[in-house]
Amino acid sequence: MGDTYGKVQESNDIANFQELTEMVIEIEKLMFWKKRLEHKHYLQQCDFKGHDEAGTDKITEKLKLLKAQITSVEGSMNEIKELVKENSNFEINAAVHCVKEEQYKMKNDISQALTQSSMLIEKISSKLQID
């Protein structure tokens, strides 16, 4: 089907150019100041190369879609970076808090041990003085 359409389109283009050429020759015959010129010239037609509009639109749409996706991914990455920073800060704060609690417990244990040691030393010293 596509080949047939292409062949018909080509034959239509050829027929159109032949008609255009005939019209140009007819107009040149009417130009009385060129009637006596017998020298033949080539007829040339210059045409801008047309872009495939449908293809260009598809490519443009794909580019727009890719840009939108990239923007979305960049936004997601920024959100993830912020969450990582917040989580890192939160984890660091939690770790510092745990260390402080452990230090407080150790301080209390050491102070209790020192209190018990001082009590034992007093008991020992009191027994030594009594004897």
Give tens-digit pLDDT for 117-127. 999 999 888 88
The pTM of this model reads: 0.34
Flag whether 89 is in a domain.
Answer: no
Domain of residue 14: give its range.
1-47
- pLDDT per residue over 43-56, tens digit each? 677 766 665 555 66
Burial (CB < 10 A; 0-12, 13-18, 19+), residue 1, is exposed
Q: How far is CA 37 from the centre of its chain?
A: 66
Flag whether 25 is in a domain.
Answer: yes
User: What pLDDT is stored for residue 42 in this prediction?
Assistant: 74
Flag whether 111 is in a domain.
Answer: no
On whether the CB atoms of residues 45 and 23 are closer than 8 A, the answer is: no
Flag whether 64 is in a domain.
Answer: no
Residues 106, 114: Cα–Cα separation, whole Å: 12
Flag whether 125 is in a domain.
Answer: no
User: What pLDDT is stored for residue 54 in this prediction?
Assistant: 56
Flag whether 32 is in a domain.
Answer: yes
Q: Is the pLDDT of residue 14 over 80?
A: yes
On whether the CB atoms of residues 24 and 43 are closer than 8 A, the answer is: yes
Flag whether 53 is in a domain.
Answer: no
Q: Is the pLDDT of residue 11 over 90?
A: no
- Nearest one of 118, 6, 91, 83 to 126, comparing CA atoms: 118
Q: Is the pLDDT of residue 2 over 70?
A: no
Residues 30, 36: Cα–Cα separation, whole Å: 12
Q: How many domains does the chain fold into?
A: 1
Residues 17-30 have a mean pLDDT of 85
Using CA of residue 28, residue 30, residue 33, residue 36, what is the dihedral sign?
Answer: positive
Residues 90-95 have a mean pLDDT of 83
Here the tokens at position 17 are: 């150019």
